[in-house]
Amino acid sequence: MSSHHIVREKQEPALLIVNLDGFNDEYLGQLLEWSPTVIVTDTMIDEVLSLGIKIDAVLENKDYNISDQQEHILRIPYSQDALDKGLKHFVKEGYPAVNVINKSFEFKEYQFYVDLIDIVVFIEERKIYPIPSGFSKWQRANEEIAILHPEYIDDLSFAGLEHIQENIYRTQKDGFFSFTFSQPYIFIAEYI
Amino acid sequence: MIAIRKASTSDIELINQLAHEIWWDTYKAVIPDEQITFMLSKMYSLVALEEQMNKDITFLILAYEGVDEGFAAYEKHDIDKSYKLEKLYLSKTQQGKGLGRVLISRVEENVKFLGASFLYLNVNRNNNAFNFYQKVGYEVIETVEIPYFDFILNDYVMRKELK
């Protein structure tokens, strides 16, 4: 086997680039550090290629023709929802985890996949991920934590945090914060 | 007062007892006695129930006036955003009071939160529960004969779109 061949054991989280607008280059570099499997949407392919990123597959809308120069790239057709198709692809291929870069977050887009694959969504300065009730994590003082979909959550309680406004919380001191609630999981955001 | 809770492995004996009581009332006029005995031992033994809980089937228990009277179970069905209702049973004496409706509504709410667009179920074509499922919005999408060891399960496959 060629020594140039990169053997991917699917241990590293795959990377799904849905929308790269406004995303920090340094964070992008970190997500690419371990040569993950990279899938991008058709609308992002030119931008991603121009950054010199190696792409494994492109999510291609039947109505949108990507340049013929990229013939060697695997094409995964989708009809309406590229993100959904991408998540489904990684689940079917047996990936344990995926990082998603996007411009917005909708709870509905991820709900079905939470127990099938570990998901972290990166949107500009925010890192969004699902947590089970009772989850706790160490964080520095004065860091903001947001709950993404407060309207779906019952019996919410929290510790190590101060409730700032609506769905925004702030750590009071260096130490652990935690949430408990009655849903099977919720999505929270922290700032990177 | 109706309370619904998620079952844990400590509820296995309870579910086993409820099933043994309710199954005879439900299926005595529908399938042969030996099939009831066989299916109870296959699907509702303590070991079988524990296996089901370990492979991601979620069980709910319904209590009415402080007494556990029924249970439901559901799991992910396929990647196209559907879940399946595997079980829904209520004590004979508690049927007709709207408890079944409350229990299935809870299942629907839970799987909706988990991203389901459809909830599927199988029901024996001669089971009175068929009428109940129709009433609460399920439609027949297929009529099936499923070989099950020495028996044939004469079922409807039903589903409801969750909006």
CATH of the domain at A24: 3.40.50.10240
For A34, the enclosing helix (H) or strand (E) is none
Last residue in a domain, options A124, A145, A160: A124
Which residue on chain A is closest to B111 by alpha carbon?
A112
Q: Is A54 domain-assigned?
A: yes
pLDDT at position A5 is 47
Q: Which of B79, B114, B116 sits opposite A184 (nearest CB)?
A: B114
Can you tell me the distance from the alpha carbon of A35 to that of A53, in angstroms, rounded to the nearest whole number?
10
Contact A184 B76 (CB under 8 A): no
Query: How high does pLDDT run on average in chain A?
Result: 90
A2, pLDDT greater than 50: no
The two structure tokens encoding residue A132: 């089970």
B31, pLDDT greater than 80: yes
A47/A116 same-domain check: yes
Q: Which domain holds residue B113?
A: 2-161
DSSP A5: P
Q: How far is CA A55 from CA A59, A65, A105, A162, B145, in A?
A: 11, 17, 23, 42, 47
With an 8 Å Cβ cutoff, the interface of chain A facing chain B consists of: 88, 91-92, 108, 110-116, 152, 183-184
A115/A136 same-domain check: no
Q: What is the pLDDT of residues B107-133, one digit of tens each?
A: 999 999 999 999 999 999 999 999 999
A135/A113 same-domain check: no
Last residue in a domain, options A98, A124, A150: A124
Q: Which domain holds residue A152?
A: 131-191
What total of structural domains would you count in chain B? 1
Q: Is A75 domain-assigned?
A: yes
DSSP states of A158-178 as a string? Answer: EESEEEEETTEEEE-SSEEEE
> Tell me, what CATH number does B145's domain have?
3.40.630.30
The one-letter code for the residue type at B23 is W
**Which residue matches tokens 């509504």?**
B105
A144/A57 same-domain check: no
pLDDT at position A1 is 38
Q: What is the mean pLDDT of residues A59-64?
A: 80
Q: Is A8 domain-assigned?
A: no
Residue B86: CB partners within 8 Å, gap ≥ 6? B52, B57, B73, B74, B75, B121
pLDDT at position A66 is 65
How remote is the C-alpha of B66 from its chain's centroid?
21
Q: Is A33 domain-assigned?
A: yes
Q: Is A2 domain-assigned?
A: no
Can you tell me the distance from the alpha carbon of A99 to that of A85, in angstroms, rounded to the nearest whole number?
15
Last residue in a domain, options A101, A124, A147: A124
Q: Which of A88, A91, A111 sits opposite B114 (nearest CB)?
A: A111
Which residue on chain B is closest to A153 by alpha carbon?
B113
Is residue B105 within 8 A of residue B95, CB to CB? The reply is no
Q: Is A6 domain-assigned?
A: no
pLDDT at position A73 is 83
A114/A35 same-domain check: yes
Residue B59: CB partners within 8 Å, gap ≥ 6? B6, B7, B11, B15, B52, B53, B71, B72, B73, B87
The one-letter code for the residue type at A30 is Q
Q: Is A5 domain-assigned?
A: no
Q: Is A9 domain-assigned?
A: no
A185, pLDDT greater than 50: yes
pLDDT at position B66 is 96
Q: What is the pLDDT of residues A23-58, one digit of tens each?
A: 999 999 999 999 999 999 999 999 999 999 999 999
Q: What is the mean pLDDT of residues B10-21?
A: 97
A26/A57 same-domain check: yes
A102/A32 same-domain check: yes
A45/A102 same-domain check: yes
Residue A144 phi, psi dihedral angles, 5° rounding: -90, 140
Contact B115 A108 (CB under 8 A): yes
Can you tell me the distance from the alpha carbon of B103 to that of B30, in angstroms, rounded to the nearest whole number?
23
**pLDDT band (50, 70, 90) for residue A8:** low
What total of structural domains would you count in chain A? 2
The two structure tokens encoding residue B90: 């209520």
Can you tell me the distance from the alpha carbon of B99 to that of B23, in angstroms, rounded to the nearest whole number?
17
User: How many residue pairs bridge chain A and chain B with CB atoms within 8 Å of each other?
Assistant: 25
A25/A51 same-domain check: yes
Instruction: Look at the alpha carbons of A112, A117, A123, A126 in this order and tell me if their dihedral is positive or negative.
Output: positive
A118/A173 same-domain check: no
Is residue A178 within 8 A of residue A134, CB to CB? The reply is yes
Q: Give the three-class secondary structure for A156.
A: coil
**Is residue B139 classed exposed, middle or buried when 0-12, 13-18 and 19+ CB atoms within 10 A define those classes?**
exposed
Buried b (16+ CB within 10 A) or exposed e, A57-84: bbbbbeeeebeeeeeebeebebeeebbb
A67/A136 same-domain check: no
A111/A69 same-domain check: yes
Q: What is the pLDDT of residues A155-170, one digit of tens each?
A: 999 999 999 999 999 9
pLDDT at position A65 is 66
